[in-house]
Amino acid sequence: MNWHIVSDSSCDMLEGYLAPDIYLSIVPIKVVIDHCEYPDDTNMNIPGMMAAMKAARKTGSSAPAPQEFEEKFTQGDHVICVCLSSALSATFQAACLARDEIHRTNPHKPIFVLDSKRASGAMELIIIRLKEMIEQGLSFEKITESIVDFSSKTQILLTLECFDNLIKGGRISRSAALFASVLNIRPIAMGTPEGTISIIDKPRGLPMTVRRLVEHMQKLKDLHLCCVIISHCNNLDVVQRIQSLLQQVAAPKEIIIRQLRGICSYYADQRGIVVSF
């Protein structure tokens, strides 16, 4: 029995086998720069995309077409798709259309599409949990039921130096732009249960930001039992400071460090950091 996990490129993982009978496919979201589309796949030159973005007149993003998901959904005996929050992208809707199209001719094929209400490392945590349950031999029905609950308990925090692309894309309120440029304030935002992004703190200065970020994490979960994923856009020095403090005060079960893929780099911008747990 083969399992096919499908996600979009807001997940920082790369396509490939997670186990001999579990394959992960990534459907690319596209970054749009001056009306040209750049698929967020392994061929994307992220530094080049970031430079072009700064020089562009108009930028944005584009969700995959349903046909791109449909192609993936035809593969594997059981299919589970983990999508970027529907509050941030039309990716989930495209995947649902693809599922419905396949069910017209193959109504009994097991396909489950999850609105993760998350992005980046939180989607990787969901995929890791899916792999664990598949390897435990759980049924498709039990896995899909359990992963909805698991997904709702994941947490995501982010701290960015620039919120411009999130604001232009309507992903966060315009008032956040002021905080990032005034009085050395670097806001901390949180993924909400509804899958949106909300500012929760406005610390001043980098040392305070790192400390407050970890404090918020500790309030949200017992980190000793958690896998923590820290994803970043060219900001390894600050990531290592967060990692060091986490190890000192919380000792998480595991800390994974990832470079953000193209679409999340576009929205997080230079030196953006996303922490999932």
Residue type (1 letter), 117: K
Decide: helix, strand or coil at residue 143. Answer: helix
Work out the end-to-end distance of the chain between its first and last CA atoms, rounded to an integer number of angstroms: 30
Q: Is 120 exposed, middle or buried (0-12, 13-18, 19+ CB in 10 A)?
A: buried
pLDDT at 176: 52
Pairing state of beta strands 197-201 and 188-191?
A: antiparallel
Residue 67 CB: number of other CB atoms within 10 A? 11
pLDDT at 29: 98
pLDDT at 56: 86
* CA dist 162 → 171, 180, 181, 229, 261 (Å): 13, 6, 8, 21, 17
For residues 265 and 29, give the distance between their C-alpha atoms in angstroms, rounded to a whole number. Answer: 12
Could you tell me if 253 and 218 are in contact, meaning their C-beta atoms sit under 8 angstroms apart?
no
Strand ranges, E, within the chain: 3-8, 16-19, 22-27, 30-33, 36-39, 59-62, 78-83, 111-115, 156-159, 188-191, 197-201, 227-232, 254-259, 273-276
pLDDT at 182: 59
Q: How many CA atoms lie within 13 A of 194 on its CB side?
A: 5
pTM of the model: 0.93
Percentages helix, strand, coil for the chain (3-state, rounded to 5) are 40, 25, 35
pLDDT at 163: 72
Q: Give the residue ranges of the chain where pLDDT is below 70.
A: 165-183
For residues 54 and 57, give the distance between their C-alpha atoms in angstroms, rounded to a whole number. Answer: 8
Domains and CATH numbers, the chain: 3-29+64-153 (3.40.50.10440), 156-276 (3.30.1180.10)
Could you tell me if 23 and 16 are in contact, meaning their C-beta atoms sit under 8 angstroms apart?
yes
pLDDT at 140: 98
pLDDT at 173: 61
For residues 119 and 107, give the distance between their C-alpha atoms in angstroms, rounded to a whole number. Answer: 29
Could you tell me if 188 and 200 are in contact, meaning their C-beta atoms sit under 8 angstroms apart?
yes
